[in-house]
Amino acid sequence: MTAFLANENISRTTVDILRESGHNIVWVADSFPSIKDETVLSLARLENRIIITFDSDYGELIYGKKMSPPLGVIYLRLNTSDPAEPAQLILKYLSVLANIFDGRFSVLTKNGVRYKLL
């Protein structure tokens, strides 16, 4: 199963759903509250995890500041009040291709996914 690092802005519901689906997920809010984005990026890289976030700053860190990327980044561009929706979308794409997020900066919306290679 995929190893994820869920940023602080990801809901506990999403984290729980992904864990219940068998994924190895560390949640910043539990393990490393208030760490900087650069530290999240480094931790994900060190532990070979895919970052899940609502924060667009990771694109700037990777492409603008040329920081070394992690295995992948899932940037959620969702305007939803449903805390389960991010997990449902991620699981939907993983069911099609298990490594769909590997090596990619993926932007997930309700209408689909687009990505840029890391």
Tens digits of residue pLDDT in 33-82: 999 999 999 999 999 999 999 999 999 999 999 999 999 999 999 998 99
Task: Give the C-alpha separation, 118 to 115, whole Å.
Answer: 9
pLDDT value at residue 34 = 93
Number of folded domains in the chain?
A: 1
Per the structure block, which two tokens stand in for 88?
């449902």
Q: Give the mean model confidence (pLDDT) for residues 95-102.
A: 95
CATH classification of the domain holding 105: 3.40.50
Q: Give the mean model confidence (pLDDT) for residues 88-114.
A: 95
Burial of 79 (0-12, 13-18, 19+ CB in 10 A): exposed
pLDDT value at residue 80 = 87
Mean of the per-residue pLDDT values of the chain? 96
Task: Give the C-alpha separation, 90 to 99, whole Å.
Answer: 11
Nearest 5°: CA angle at 37, between 44 and 67?
70
Residue corresponding to tokens 């759903």 = 17
Task: Give the C-alpha separation, 33 to 21, whole Å.
Answer: 24
The residue range of the domain holding 13 is 3-117
pLDDT band at 28 (very low <50, low <70, confident <90, very high): very high
Taking the model in full, what pTM does it have? 0.96
